[in-house]
Amino acid sequence: MERTYLLSEIDAVAKELLQNSRSKTILFYGEMGAGKTTLINSILKILGAEDAGSSPTFSLVNVYETENGTVNHFDFYRIKDESEAWDLGFEEYLESNAWNLIEWPEKIQNFIEEEYQKVQIITLDSEERMLKFC
């Protein structure tokens, strides 16, 4: 599935993504500035997180309790080695029944399972993006 959208339509895209995801673990691929964190913040809002905010770049994970259960937001941009995810207890997060929203999953390839939903965000211009379900 592919969908082109304007940034002003981000909430509708987030809702559509949640409705069509085959997994509660969603992997977000895209270049720096493509809008991964923006889309995840919209997903958090839809799931009922009250304190959605920034990317967990320095802590690796932010955990949110929502009316729809726990949501774990990971950002692996700064890790140097997959062992950092292992040390974090990442595998336990994946085994939970929580939503796992993961930025920069290419940094943790050995943890990636086929059943997880892969999403690629492509920048078309400053206001338009393409979302691809992979």
Q: How confident is the model at residue 70 (pLDDT cuts 50, 70, 90)?
A: very high
Per-residue pLDDT tens digits for 7-22: 999 999 999 999 999 9
Buried b (16+ CB within 10 A) or exposed e, 111-122: beeeebbbbbbb
For tokens 């955990």, name the residue.
63
Alpha helical stretches, state H, the chain = 10-20, 36-47, 83-88, 90-95
Number of domains in the chain: 1
How many other β-carbons are positioned within 10 Å of the β-carbon of residue 16?
16
Tokens (6 digits) for 108: 């943790």
Domain span at residue 101 reads 2-133
Residue type, 89: G
User: What global pTM score does this model have?
Assistant: 0.91
pLDDT of residue 67: 86
Q: Which CATH number is 108's domain given?
A: 3.40.50.300
Task: Judge whether residue 99 has pLDDT over 90.
Answer: yes
Measured CA to CA, the distance from residue 64 to residue 94 in angstroms comes to 15
3-state SS, residue 49: coil
Per-residue pLDDT tens digits for 78-94: 999 999 998 889 999 99
